[in-house]
Amino acid sequence: MSGNALGALFMCVSMFLFAVEDALFKSVTPGLPPGEATLIFGVTATAIYIALTLHAREPVLHPAILRPTLLIRTFFEIMGRLFFALALAWTPLSVTSAILQAAPLVVTAGAALLLGERVGPARWIAMAIGFAGVILILRPTPDAFRIDALLALAGMVGFAMRDLFTRASPPAVSANQLGVIGCSVIIVAGLIMLPFDPAPPRMPEAGELLRLVLTGSVGAAAYFALTRAMRAGEVSVVAPFRYSRLLVALGFAYVFFGERPDLWTLAGGLLIVTSGIYTLLRARQPLPSQIT
Protein backbone atom coordinates (compact mmCIF):
# COMPACT_ATOMS: atom_id res chain seq x y z
CA MET A 1 0.00 0.00 0.00
CA SER A 2 1.36 3.42 -0.97
CA GLY A 3 1.99 6.14 1.58
CA ASN A 4 -0.92 8.22 0.28
CA ALA A 5 -3.31 5.25 0.38
CA LEU A 6 -2.21 4.41 3.92
CA GLY A 7 -2.58 8.05 4.94
CA ALA A 8 -6.09 8.23 3.48
CA LEU A 9 -7.03 5.03 5.34
CA PHE A 10 -5.74 6.38 8.66
CA MET A 11 -7.53 9.68 8.03
CA CYS A 12 -10.86 7.92 7.48
CA VAL A 13 -10.30 5.82 10.61
CA SER A 14 -9.45 8.97 12.57
CA MET A 15 -12.55 10.82 11.39
CA PHE A 16 -14.75 7.83 12.19
CA LEU A 17 -13.31 7.69 15.71
CA PHE A 18 -13.75 11.43 16.22
CA ALA A 19 -17.40 11.09 15.19
CA VAL A 20 -17.79 8.23 17.68
CA GLU A 21 -16.20 10.44 20.35
CA ASP A 22 -18.70 13.23 19.64
CA ALA A 23 -21.66 10.86 19.72
CA LEU A 24 -20.56 9.23 22.98
CA PHE A 25 -20.10 12.61 24.65
CA LYS A 26 -23.46 13.88 23.42
CA SER A 27 -25.19 10.74 24.69
CA VAL A 28 -24.04 11.52 28.24
CA THR A 29 -24.77 15.25 28.49
CA PRO A 30 -28.59 15.06 28.64
CA GLY A 31 -28.20 13.63 32.15
CA LEU A 32 -24.73 14.70 33.28
CA PRO A 33 -23.81 18.43 33.29
CA PRO A 34 -21.50 19.26 30.33
CA GLY A 35 -18.75 20.72 32.54
CA GLU A 36 -18.51 17.59 34.66
CA ALA A 37 -18.67 15.38 31.56
CA THR A 38 -15.87 17.40 29.92
CA LEU A 39 -13.75 17.12 33.06
CA ILE A 40 -14.02 13.31 33.22
CA PHE A 41 -13.39 13.04 29.47
CA GLY A 42 -10.28 15.21 29.82
CA VAL A 43 -8.86 13.29 32.77
CA THR A 44 -9.22 10.00 30.87
CA ALA A 45 -7.59 11.26 27.67
CA THR A 46 -4.78 13.02 29.56
CA ALA A 47 -3.97 9.87 31.53
CA ILE A 48 -3.72 7.90 28.29
CA TYR A 49 -1.32 10.41 26.70
CA ILE A 50 0.81 10.66 29.82
CA ALA A 51 1.17 6.87 29.69
CA LEU A 52 2.11 7.02 25.99
CA THR A 53 4.66 9.76 26.63
CA LEU A 54 6.27 7.86 29.49
CA HIS A 55 6.31 4.69 27.39
CA ALA A 56 8.21 6.61 24.70
CA ARG A 57 10.64 7.77 27.41
CA GLU A 58 9.88 11.42 26.74
CA PRO A 59 9.36 14.17 29.31
CA VAL A 60 5.63 14.58 29.95
CA LEU A 61 5.92 18.37 29.62
CA HIS A 62 8.47 19.85 27.23
CA PRO A 63 10.04 23.18 28.34
CA ALA A 64 8.91 24.69 25.02
CA ILE A 65 5.29 24.72 26.20
CA LEU A 66 5.96 28.18 27.66
CA ARG A 67 6.90 29.64 24.28
CA PRO A 68 4.45 32.25 22.94
CA THR A 69 3.29 30.14 19.97
CA LEU A 70 2.38 27.19 22.19
CA LEU A 71 0.72 29.43 24.78
CA ILE A 72 -1.43 30.95 22.03
CA ARG A 73 -2.15 27.45 20.71
CA THR A 74 -3.21 26.37 24.20
CA PHE A 75 -5.55 29.37 24.53
CA PHE A 76 -7.32 28.51 21.29
CA GLU A 77 -7.43 24.83 22.27
CA ILE A 78 -9.29 25.84 25.44
CA MET A 79 -11.66 27.99 23.38
CA GLY A 80 -12.32 25.16 20.93
CA ARG A 81 -12.85 22.50 23.59
CA LEU A 82 -15.06 24.73 25.72
CA PHE A 83 -17.47 25.83 23.02
CA PHE A 84 -17.47 22.54 21.12
CA ALA A 85 -18.42 20.66 24.28
CA LEU A 86 -21.28 23.11 24.86
CA ALA A 87 -22.34 22.72 21.22
CA LEU A 88 -22.39 18.92 21.52
CA ALA A 89 -24.52 19.22 24.65
CA TRP A 90 -27.09 21.73 23.35
CA THR A 91 -26.92 21.83 19.54
CA PRO A 92 -27.95 19.05 17.12
CA LEU A 93 -25.00 16.81 16.24
CA SER A 94 -25.65 17.30 12.53
CA VAL A 95 -25.39 21.10 12.85
CA THR A 96 -22.31 20.98 15.08
CA SER A 97 -20.47 18.55 12.80
CA ALA A 98 -21.33 20.48 9.64
CA ILE A 99 -20.00 23.76 11.04
CA LEU A 100 -16.82 22.05 12.25
CA GLN A 101 -15.99 21.14 8.64
CA ALA A 102 -15.25 24.83 7.95
CA ALA A 103 -12.11 24.64 10.13
CA PRO A 104 -9.72 23.91 7.21
CA LEU A 105 -11.06 26.98 5.41
CA VAL A 106 -10.34 29.15 8.45
CA VAL A 107 -6.86 27.61 8.71
CA THR A 108 -6.16 28.45 5.05
CA ALA A 109 -7.41 32.03 5.47
CA GLY A 110 -5.43 32.44 8.69
CA ALA A 111 -2.27 31.08 7.08
CA ALA A 112 -2.61 33.70 4.35
CA LEU A 113 -3.39 36.60 6.68
CA LEU A 114 -1.13 35.76 9.62
CA LEU A 115 1.66 33.56 8.26
CA GLY A 116 2.03 35.15 4.84
CA GLU A 117 1.25 32.02 2.83
CA ARG A 118 0.21 32.71 -0.75
CA VAL A 119 -3.42 32.02 -1.62
CA GLY A 120 -4.74 32.60 -5.13
CA PRO A 121 -8.07 34.23 -6.08
CA ALA A 122 -9.73 30.89 -6.84
CA ARG A 123 -9.09 29.62 -3.31
CA TRP A 124 -10.37 32.88 -1.78
CA ILE A 125 -13.59 32.48 -3.79
CA ALA A 126 -13.87 28.84 -2.65
CA MET A 127 -13.40 29.91 0.98
CA ALA A 128 -16.08 32.58 0.61
CA ILE A 129 -18.48 29.92 -0.70
CA GLY A 130 -17.63 27.70 2.27
CA PHE A 131 -18.31 30.50 4.73
CA ALA A 132 -21.62 31.10 2.95
CA GLY A 133 -22.41 27.49 3.81
CA VAL A 134 -21.83 28.28 7.49
CA ILE A 135 -24.29 31.18 7.20
CA LEU A 136 -26.89 28.85 5.69
CA ILE A 137 -26.55 26.52 8.68
CA LEU A 138 -26.88 29.44 11.10
CA ARG A 139 -30.05 30.42 9.17
CA PRO A 140 -30.22 33.57 7.01
CA THR A 141 -33.49 34.96 8.39
CA PRO A 142 -34.20 36.57 11.80
CA ASP A 143 -37.06 34.17 12.53
CA ALA A 144 -35.00 31.04 11.87
CA PHE A 145 -31.61 32.16 13.24
CA ARG A 146 -29.96 29.37 15.29
CA ILE A 147 -28.30 31.12 18.22
CA ASP A 148 -27.20 27.77 19.67
CA ALA A 149 -25.17 27.13 16.51
CA LEU A 150 -22.92 30.04 17.50
CA LEU A 151 -21.45 27.68 20.11
CA ALA A 152 -20.32 25.35 17.32
CA LEU A 153 -19.05 28.33 15.33
CA ALA A 154 -16.92 29.55 18.25
CA GLY A 155 -15.61 26.01 18.82
CA MET A 156 -14.73 25.66 15.14
CA VAL A 157 -12.78 28.95 15.17
CA GLY A 158 -10.92 27.83 18.29
CA PHE A 159 -9.92 24.51 16.70
CA ALA A 160 -8.92 26.18 13.43
CA MET A 161 -6.67 28.69 15.18
CA ARG A 162 -5.21 25.87 17.27
CA ASP A 163 -4.33 24.00 14.06
CA LEU A 164 -2.86 27.18 12.59
CA PHE A 165 -0.55 27.75 15.56
CA THR A 166 0.35 24.05 15.59
CA ARG A 167 2.14 24.76 12.31
CA ALA A 168 4.27 27.32 14.13
CA SER A 169 4.85 25.20 17.25
CA PRO A 170 8.42 24.11 18.06
CA PRO A 171 9.30 20.86 16.23
CA ALA A 172 11.06 19.61 19.36
CA VAL A 173 7.64 19.00 20.95
CA SER A 174 6.57 15.45 20.03
CA ALA A 175 3.08 14.36 19.02
CA ASN A 176 2.67 12.64 22.41
CA GLN A 177 3.64 15.81 24.25
CA LEU A 178 1.22 17.86 22.15
CA GLY A 179 -1.40 15.24 23.03
CA VAL A 180 -0.74 15.74 26.74
CA ILE A 181 -1.12 19.49 26.34
CA GLY A 182 -4.27 19.17 24.24
CA CYS A 183 -5.96 16.71 26.60
CA SER A 184 -4.97 18.71 29.68
CA VAL A 185 -6.75 21.63 28.07
CA ILE A 186 -9.97 19.57 28.08
CA ILE A 187 -9.63 19.40 31.88
CA VAL A 188 -9.20 23.18 32.04
CA ALA A 189 -12.27 23.66 29.83
CA GLY A 190 -14.28 21.39 32.11
CA LEU A 191 -13.20 23.33 35.20
CA ILE A 192 -14.20 26.61 33.52
CA MET A 193 -17.63 25.19 32.68
CA LEU A 194 -18.34 23.66 36.11
CA PRO A 195 -19.58 26.86 37.83
CA PHE A 196 -21.99 27.47 34.95
CA ASP A 197 -23.40 23.96 34.73
CA PRO A 198 -27.23 23.89 34.96
CA ALA A 199 -27.02 21.36 37.82
CA PRO A 200 -24.45 20.72 40.58
CA PRO A 201 -21.88 17.94 40.04
CA ARG A 202 -22.99 14.45 40.99
CA MET A 203 -21.56 10.97 40.99
CA PRO A 204 -21.92 9.61 37.43
CA GLU A 205 -23.89 6.44 36.98
CA ALA A 206 -21.93 3.38 35.87
CA GLY A 207 -23.16 3.68 32.28
CA GLU A 208 -22.32 7.39 32.09
CA LEU A 209 -18.84 6.87 33.51
CA LEU A 210 -18.18 4.01 31.09
CA ARG A 211 -19.22 6.11 28.09
CA LEU A 212 -17.01 9.02 29.20
CA VAL A 213 -14.01 6.72 29.69
CA LEU A 214 -14.72 5.34 26.21
CA THR A 215 -14.96 8.92 24.93
CA GLY A 216 -11.47 9.70 26.22
CA SER A 217 -10.06 6.41 24.93
CA VAL A 218 -11.61 6.78 21.49
CA GLY A 219 -10.48 10.41 21.32
CA ALA A 220 -6.88 9.41 22.08
CA ALA A 221 -7.02 6.68 19.41
CA ALA A 222 -8.46 9.17 16.92
CA TYR A 223 -5.63 11.62 17.57
CA PHE A 224 -3.08 8.81 17.11
CA ALA A 225 -4.67 7.80 13.79
CA LEU A 226 -4.72 11.44 12.67
CA THR A 227 -1.00 11.77 13.41
CA ARG A 228 -0.25 8.60 11.44
CA ALA A 229 -2.36 9.87 8.54
CA MET A 230 -0.53 13.18 8.28
CA ARG A 231 2.87 11.47 8.47
CA ALA A 232 2.10 8.61 6.04
CA GLY A 233 0.98 10.60 3.00
CA GLU A 234 1.05 13.99 1.35
CA VAL A 235 -1.05 16.51 3.30
CA SER A 236 -2.83 17.75 0.17
CA VAL A 237 -3.85 14.19 -0.73
CA VAL A 238 -4.78 12.97 2.74
CA ALA A 239 -6.47 16.08 4.19
CA PRO A 240 -9.65 15.98 2.01
CA PHE A 241 -10.58 12.66 3.60
CA ARG A 242 -11.23 14.52 6.86
CA TYR A 243 -14.67 15.36 5.45
CA SER A 244 -15.70 11.73 5.90
CA ARG A 245 -16.36 12.75 9.52
CA LEU A 246 -19.46 14.66 8.46
CA LEU A 247 -20.97 11.61 6.74
CA VAL A 248 -20.44 9.46 9.83
CA ALA A 249 -21.77 12.21 12.13
CA LEU A 250 -24.91 12.64 10.03
CA GLY A 251 -25.47 8.88 10.20
CA PHE A 252 -25.08 8.86 13.99
CA ALA A 253 -27.34 11.89 14.32
CA TYR A 254 -30.04 10.14 12.28
CA VAL A 255 -29.81 6.70 13.92
CA PHE A 256 -29.01 7.45 17.56
CA PHE A 257 -30.42 10.94 18.19
CA GLY A 258 -33.41 11.01 15.85
CA GLU A 259 -32.17 14.12 14.07
CA ARG A 260 -33.49 14.94 10.62
CA PRO A 261 -31.25 17.68 9.16
CA ASP A 262 -33.28 20.18 7.17
CA LEU A 263 -32.47 21.59 3.74
CA TRP A 264 -30.52 24.57 5.16
CA THR A 265 -28.16 22.30 7.10
CA LEU A 266 -27.65 19.86 4.22
CA ALA A 267 -27.09 22.65 1.68
CA GLY A 268 -24.69 24.48 3.99
CA GLY A 269 -22.77 21.28 4.73
CA LEU A 270 -22.50 20.52 1.01
CA LEU A 271 -21.10 24.00 0.30
CA ILE A 272 -18.57 23.72 3.13
CA VAL A 273 -17.35 20.26 2.12
CA THR A 274 -17.19 21.03 -1.62
CA SER A 275 -15.32 24.30 -1.14
CA GLY A 276 -13.03 22.73 1.44
CA ILE A 277 -12.03 19.84 -0.82
CA TYR A 278 -11.47 22.27 -3.71
CA THR A 279 -9.34 24.52 -1.51
CA LEU A 280 -7.18 21.62 -0.34
CA LEU A 281 -6.76 20.19 -3.85
CA ARG A 282 -6.05 23.64 -5.29
CA ALA A 283 -3.25 24.02 -2.75
CA ARG A 284 -1.35 21.33 -4.68
CA GLN A 285 -1.24 23.54 -7.79
CA PRO A 286 1.34 26.35 -7.93
CA LEU A 287 0.24 29.95 -8.43
CA PRO A 288 0.95 31.37 -11.92
CA SER A 289 3.98 33.29 -10.63
CA GLN A 290 5.39 30.06 -9.16
CA ILE A 291 5.28 28.07 -12.43
CA THR A 292 8.72 27.72 -13.97
Q: Is the pLDDT of residue 173 over 60?
A: yes
The domains of the chain are located at 3-287
Query: Of 42, 7, 48, 31, which Cα lies nearest the Cα of 183?
Result: 42
Spatial separation of the C-alpha atoms in residues 187 and 139, rounded to whole Å: 32
Q: State the pLDDT confidence band at 33, using cuts at 50, 70 and 90.
A: very high
pLDDT at 74: 87
Q: State the pLDDT confidence band at 259, using cuts at 50, 70 and 90.
A: very high
Distances from the Cα of 181 to the Cα of 58, 78, 107, 109, angstroms? 14, 10, 20, 25
pLDDT at 292: 26
Question: What tens digit of pLDDT does each residue of 105-162 get?
Answer: 888 888 888 877 788 888 889 889 999 999 888 876 666 677 888 999 999 999 888 8
Question: What tens digit of pLDDT does each residue of 52-93 get?
Answer: 999 999 999 888 778 888 888 889 989 999 999 999 999 999
Q: What average pLDDT does the structure give for the chain?
A: 86
pLDDT at 8: 85
Residues 211 and 24: beta-carbon distance below 8 Å: yes
Q: State the pLDDT confidence band at 39, using cuts at 50, 70 and 90.
A: very high
pLDDT at 140: 65
Spatial separation of the C-alpha atoms in residues 144 and 287, rounded to whole Å: 41
Please state the separation of Cα 2 from the chain's center in Å. 27
Q: State the pLDDT confidence band at 253, using cuts at 50, 70 and 90.
A: very high
State mean pLDDT over 232-258. Answer: 84
Spatial separation of the C-alpha atoms in residues 226 and 220, rounded to whole Å: 10
